[in-house]
Amino acid sequence: MSHNVNRRQFSTLTGGAALLAASGLPAVAQTPPVQSGTTGETPGARGFPEGFLWGVATAAYQIEGAWNEDGKGESIWDRYAHTPGKIKNGDTGDVAIDHYHRYKEDVALMKDIGAKAYRFSISWPRIFPDGTGQLNQKGLDFYDRLVDELKAADIEPFATLYHWDLPQVLQDRYGGWQSAETAKAFGEYAGVVAKALSDRVGHFFTINEFKQVTETAYRGVELHVQGETVRLMSAPGILLEDGPLNQVRHHAVLGHGLAVQAIRAMGRAGTKVGPAENMGHALPVIDSPEHVKAAEAATKALNIYFLGPMLEGRYDEAYLTAAGKDAPKFTDEEMKIIGAPVDFVGINVYIPLLLVMASDEPQGYREVPFSLSHPKMFSDWHRLSPESQYWAPRLLHSIWKPKEIYITENGCAASDEVAADGNIYDSDRLTYLRNGMMWQQRATAEGIPLKGSFVWSAMDNFEWINGYGDRFGIVHVDFKTQKRTPKLSAQWFKEAAWRNAVV
Ligand code: PNW
């Protein structure tokens, strides 16, 4: 039986393949052992530039568990998930996938599936249980051990400083991002982490997805997919009017800028820093100059709150005028901080917000509706758009010309049935990733400085308000036993990373 042959062939592969071999998945016999510093053959047109980083990503609250261990303070997500009715099935991140205790096994798994880089996030309340002031050394030690483990496995660490788990004390004391005090505290925390880890961590992301930190957290966001309206809310779950909400947005980009400054001041020389933003982008109906121009205008308009000010150091005049008395209050000095030069821009790419065509209207584009039958992935909100993996970096590049671009998240949830043989044949995720990477490959081939790409996610984890219902991992996690099993998509990832090409 080919199944057995593959297992036998697999066992001849060195080290890294062991876990995949144990899973007994078929059709991987040709997967060479992963050797550091070596690249596979690139099949012509589908190859990526040498050194392209094939990464996987996670975030602290979604994987770590150990929510109150080793001196960690409470975060707004601990509080939110502990509040009845907020999370599907009453799930919490108290244990999550127990990564805090299983990080060695998890790093070994990442090595097995051929990841060259790992984007993880640091839990602020582990480092500063009170938000500021007294450092919790035990919390910092965890990331120290994790980074050492990654370096030993030849996996490049990329650290996100804020992936939504604000120390609850800052929420209680200042109303969280409603106050500039939280932005200042974030800058201090960023400096301390950079000082401690930048001898080994060369890349820091400041804030993950500004929209979720601000709008979804302090207003809630409505999404319309296939005729259904989905309302998303995030911790702390506060409903603000327009003026205060704009101020929250302002404090988030201010926090980013203060963190950039602190990392430059406290980190090792050459440490790179940038945001990880879910960049709103528009797709042109057709790839022709007039429609692409329309997509540029629309994409610029979709980023007036965050990427615009961070990359230009100023707010869009039309935004300020339209907001009137609700416009954010700011100083020139703050705008300089917000616009502090970054080394790269990270973008999480999931869905296009608009489909547009050329227009003579002053705004420069006309919106075209997505049809009701436009396909979607497993998550309600997940409109299918492999081409976004090309258009998002391309539009980012044509509008703001950042030096380097990373796709900090790319992936999808899937139903992930466990087959009779114990494997997870996630054909939809595999197709999703393959097609997405085709489009990313096109971006690199056209000279867009896309340096690497992180699959969301390395492992199944706590999917915020959807709890453990939506699995995004390329490695399956049995949430009862904590057993990890690489899915079919992990084998695809391994082969693609090895070949440095779409396979
Ligand atoms: C991201 N949308 O959130 C987050 O950074 C991750 O923590 C999360 O697990 C992952 O994507 C999957 O949801 C998103 O509405 C939230 O388009 C909302 C959207 C996309 C991503």
Looking at the CA of residue 276, tell me the nearest atom of ligand 1.
5
Q: What is the rounded average pLDDT for all residues in the chain? A: 92
Is 102's pLDDT higher than 50? Answer: yes
Cα–Cα distance measured from residue 466 to residue 366, given in angstroms and rounded to the nearest whole number: 34
| Pairing mode, strands 475-477 and 366-368 | unpaired
pLDDT at residue 32 in the model:
42
Residue nearest to atom 16 of ligand 1 (CA): 212
pLDDT at residue 14 in the model:
32
State pLDDT tens for residues 208-241: 999 999 999 999 988 777 788 877 889 999 999 9
Is 443's pLDDT higher than 90? Answer: yes
What are the backbone dihedrals phi and psi of residue 222, each rounded to the nearest 5 degrees, phi first? -100, 135
Probe residue for ligand 1, chosen from 370, 464, 472 as the CB with the greatest number of ligand atoms within 8 Å: 464
Is 149's pLDDT higher than 50? Answer: yes
Residue 152 neighbours by CB under 8 Å, 6+ apart:
none
pLDDT at residue 23 in the model:
45
Is 400's pLDDT higher than 50? Answer: yes
Residue nearest to atom 20 of ligand 1 (CA): 350
Residue 359 neighbours by CB under 8 Å, 6+ apart:
294, 365, 366
Q: How far is the CA of 234 from the centre of ligand 1 (A)?
A: 11
Does 205 sit in the ligand 1 pocket, CB within 6 Å?
no
Does 78 sit in the ligand 1 pocket, CB within 6 Å?
no
Q: How far is the CA of 463 from the centre of ligand 1 (A)?
A: 8
Q: On the CB side of 277, how many CA atoms lie within 13 Å of its CA?
A: 28
Query: Quick one: what percent of the chain has pLDDT higher than 70?
Result: 91
Does 278 sit in the ligand 1 pocket, CB within 6 Å?
yes
Cα–Cα distance measured from residue 222 to residue 353, given in angstroms and rounded to the nearest whole number: 12
State pLDDT tens for residues 23-81: 444 433 334 444 433 454 555 679 999 999 999 999 999 999 999 999 999 999 999 99
**317, two tokens:** 């005049």
Q: Which residues are catalytic?
A: 209, 409
Q: How far is the CA of 162 from the centre of ligand 1 (A)?
A: 14
Kind and range of the H or E run holding 106? helix 99-112
Does 406 sit in the ligand 1 pocket, CB within 6 Å?
no
pLDDT at residue 222 in the model:
87
pLDDT at residue 231 in the model:
75
Cα–Cα distance measured from residue 281 to residue 302, given in angstroms and rounded to the nearest whole number: 7
Cα–Cα distance measured from residue 397 to residue 419, given in angstroms and rounded to the nearest whole number: 43
Q: How far is the CA of 442 from the centre of ligand 1 (A)?
A: 24
Residue nearest to atom 9 of ligand 1 (CA): 463
Residue 469 neighbours by CB under 8 Å, 6+ apart:
88, 89, 91, 463
Residue found under tokens 């998945």: 25
Does 209 sit in the ligand 1 pocket, CB within 6 Å?
yes
Q: How far is the CA of 138 from the centre of ligand 1 (A)?
A: 29
Does 456 sit in the ligand 1 pocket, CB within 6 Å?
yes
The mean per-residue pLDDT over the stretch 90-111 comes to 98
Does 472 sit in the ligand 1 pocket, CB within 6 Å?
yes
Residue nearest to atom 19 of ligand 1 (CA): 350
pLDDT at residue 42 in the model:
52
Do 410 and 453 touch, CB atoms closer than 8 A? yes
Residue nearest to atom 18 of ligand 1 (CA): 212
Question: Residue 242 CB: number of other CB atoms within 10 A?
Answer: 13
Does 380 sit in the ligand 1 pocket, CB within 6 Å?
no
SS3 (DSSP) at 101? helix
Is 21's pLDDT higher than 80? Answer: no
Looking at the CA of residue 223, tell me the nearest atom of ligand 1.
15
SS3 (DSSP) at 248? helix
SS3 content of the chain, % helix, strand, coil (to 5): 45, 15, 40
- In three-state form (DSSP H/G/I as H, E/B as E, the rest C), the secondary structure along 406-419 is EEEEECCCECCCCC
Domains present along the chain, CATH in parentheses:
5-499 (3.20.20.80)
pLDDT at residue 43 in the model:
54
Report how far apart the first and last C-alpha atoms of the chain are (Å, whole number): 25
Q: How far is the CA of 3 from the centre of ligand 1 (A)?
A: 36
Q: How far is the CA of 166 from the centre of ligand 1 (A)?
A: 17
Residue nearest to atom 7 of ligand 1 (CA): 59
Does 210 sit in the ligand 1 pocket, CB within 6 Å?
no
State pLDDT tens for residues 352-375: 999 999 999 999 999 999 999 999
Is 16's pLDDT higher than 50? Answer: no
Kind and range of the H or E run holding 222? strand 221-225
